[in-house]
A and B are shown apart, each in its own frame.
Chain A
Amino acid sequence: MIRFENVSKRYDTGYEALARVDFEVEAGEMLFLTGHSGAGKSTLMKMILLMEQPSHGNVFVDGHHLAHMPKGQLPYFRRNIGVVFQNHQLLFDRTVYDNVALPLQVAGYPHQEIGKRVRAALDKVDLLDKERSNPIMLSGGEQQRVGIARAVVNKPTLLLADEPTGNLDPELSNEIMTLFRQFNEVGTTVMVATHDVELLKRMNKRVLGLVQGKLVHDGVLW
């Protein structure tokens, strides 16, 4: 599903975000990406989404060599990837329903289909009763769940989450991890970036550890 071959990223400022990173993720896997802030987690995630280009090396996602992807193909590629952000990137000028519906509208789903899928996704994250609310009225955990619903509403084959539990208490972050695990169980490849070591221990999944842009750990955490 994801393959990094000798990937480096050096910014114009000379700062090296990633250095010769190699790894491969199978379809249907669930794994974590960890490291201190600035270790390169976000850069790595952004490369998978083609928000960043590597300075060296090759990135393959879902059979695409990203460096060779035509510009017009990018939107269609991104429709297969669900993304959850730490700051959830919700739009506060519209309802929860409309936020979640966005990926489907963009992909041109028919109206009734959108309604069905949005409600299914909101049901999944237990927010069906909030569909008419503005996300600004919701708590942090609820907002994060709206973000997750939006990420999975299009039933992507790959789900990326960048610090999804960043500022949530342990109980809420457990809830969210349970959601991710459920998505993984139905076949979605899930990759979660987090610096929460306790969480990693609890989840007992494959972990990629980054230190100053280098991949120093690959496997289940001790």
Chain B
Amino acid sequence: MKPQRPKPERRPNRMGATVNRSERAVREPVRPDPRPVARSQGAVQSKTSWRDKLDAWSAHHSNSAIESLLRLLETPLQSLMTWLVIAIAVALPAALFVMFNNVQQVGQTWQDSSQISVFLKKDVTLNQGQDLRGRWAQRPDVAQATYVSSEQALEEFKRGSGLGELANHLDENPLPAVILIKPKIGGNAPDVLNSLQQALIADPLVADVRLDMLWVKRLHQFITVAERFVMALAGLLALGVLLVIGNTIRMAIENRRDEILVVKLVGATDAYVRRPFLYTGLWYGVGGGIVAAILLAIGFWWLSAPVTQLADLYQSTFRLQGLNFIESLQLILIAGITGLLGAWIAVARHLYLIQPR
């Protein structure tokens, strides 16, 4: 059965006359254009060239960017609260990362000076000792070898320990001669140090080899654990930021529901509708990142004076390193990307649900 069509004789054409099907079929190909204006408009529409499209696209981007920023600034208190929440969530792991960087730096300076003390047997002569030092200095895994005679060692002890008076009362020098070995930089890793230690202790002139291996290992391990902990914390807090921004964007979408319906109805693409909200998310993230960078700068400035004093007491040149300019920018960038991501999730979930009905 043929699908029913409206009966031709019941349908008048624009002139008021009825048109039957065969007439229309004949007329169709040669029909003088009944809507010249519409035609010319069609041509005008197709004249929106690629260049115009691109201009309009970039114009909408900058418009969306500026407008969404202005919208945030229209409700400064609310926006500031969101920025603070994000800033705290960003600043906390960032601060911990920076702290560990500092600790690692301290560890590195200690490790650099982590020398192996080789105590020679009591009966080793000065010449034998210096020969030994000469041989070890040739080793590829040794950066520097220094011979310290027992007399020199005693002098140092008198100066450094503050127990000089006591040493003066000793009948004989109790200290052995020592060769101080500085491993090569690559020798920082614990197992390389270990094998070097094994090689040194094998020499018959050597009484003992001291290397605070355990300490190095512990520091390494501690930093690994701490880094993982901070990673997990950062992950959780990033999730928090995503949720905060997602929820904020969801409310923004709800507030502009009417607008979304209308623009969808007049032919807005999904990308067009999405754009202002993505920029809103980006601004939330970037704003939060900037506040976080400021918080960190203030915090490290506040800490740096007492830390410097503390380091001075230990005769260390250690100085607390905050975020430098590039690192602050990176922080803001990461926060911005997180904001964008949060907005994207919210938009994907909620914009789809708003369809003209």
A residues near B, CB below 8 A? 5-6, 22-24, 26-30, 46, 49, 51, 72, 75-79, 83, 89, 91, 93, 102-103, 105-111, 113, 150, 154-155, 157, 186-188, 206, 218-220
How far does the alpha carbon of A102 sit from the alpha carbon of B259 in the complex, in Å?
A: 10
Assess whether B356 is interfacial by the CB under 8 Å rule: yes
Contact-residue size bin, chain B (C-beta under 8 Å from the other chain): 35 or more
- B38 contact from A23, A72, A111, A188, Cβ within 8 A: A188
Check B38–A78 contact: CB distance below 8 A.
no
- The one of A28, A77, A105, A219 that contacts B11, using a Cβ cutoff of 8 Å: A219
When chains A and B are docked, how far (Å) is the Cα of A27 from the Cα of B57? 32
Measured between beta carbons, the chain A residues less than 8 angstroms from B35 are 27-28, 186-188
* Apart from the given pairs A24-B11, A51-B357, 19 other A-B contacts in the complex at a CB distance below 8 Å: A22-B3, A22-B4, A27-B34, A46-B357, A51-B265, A51-B356, A72-B269, A77-B267, A79-B267, A89-B258, A91-B259, A103-B266, A108-B53, A108-B56, A110-B48, A186-B35, A187-B36, A187-B38, A187-B39
Contact indicator A110/B56 (Cβ below 8 Å): yes
Q: A102 — which chain B residues lie within 8 A by C-beta? A: 262-263, 266
Contact indicator A218/B38 (Cβ below 8 Å)? no
Task: Enumerate chain B interface residues (CB-CB to A < 8 A).
Answer: 3-7, 10-14, 34-39, 41-42, 44-45, 48, 52-53, 55-57, 59-60, 258-259, 261-270, 272, 355-357
A77 to chain B: which residues have CB within 8 Å? 267
Within the complex, what minimum Cβ distance (angstroms) separates B182 from chain A?
A: 67
Nearest chain A CB to B12 CB, angstrom units: 6
Contact status A150-B266, CB under 8 Å: yes
Give the distance to chain B from A5, nearest Cβ to Cβ, in Å: 5
Contact (Cβ within 8 A) B34 A219: no
Interface SS of chain A: helix, strand, loop or mixed?
A: mixed
Question: A144 → chain B, closest Cβ, in Å?
Answer: 15
Question: Which B residues are in CB contact (< 8 Å) with A23?
Answer: 6
The answer to whether A91 touches B6, judged by C-beta atoms less than 8 angstroms apart, is: no
- A and B contact pairs by CB, cutoff 8 A, 9 listed: A51-B265, A75-B267, A76-B267, A107-B48, A108-B57, A109-B48, A109-B52, A206-B11, A206-B12
CA distance A113 to B193 in the complex (A): 75
Q: A157 to B261, alpha carbons, bound, how many Å? A: 22
Q: How far is the CB of B35 from chain A (nearest CB, A)?
A: 2
Contact A5 B3 (CB under 8 A): yes
8 Å CB contact of A49 from B55, B59, B259, B265? B265
Evaluate contact between A110 and B266: CB separation under 8 angstroms: no
B58 to chain A minimum Cβ distance, whole angstroms, is 10
The residue in B48, B262, B263 that gathers the most chain A C-beta atoms within 10 A of its C-beta is: B262
In whole angstroms, how far apart are the Cα atoms of A154 and B6 in the complex? 31
* Contact (Cβ within 8 A) A108 B48: yes
Instruction: Using known A-B contacts A51-B356, A105-B60, A109-B52, determine if residue A220 contacts B12 with beta carbons closer than 8 Å.
Output: yes
Contact residues in A for B38 (Cβ distance below 8 Å)? 28, 155, 157, 186-188
In this complex, what residue of B is CB-closest to A26? B13
B11: chain A residues within 8 A (beta carbon): 24, 206, 218-219
Cα separation A95 to B38 with both chains bound (whole Å) = 28
A77 to B265, CA, bound (A): 10
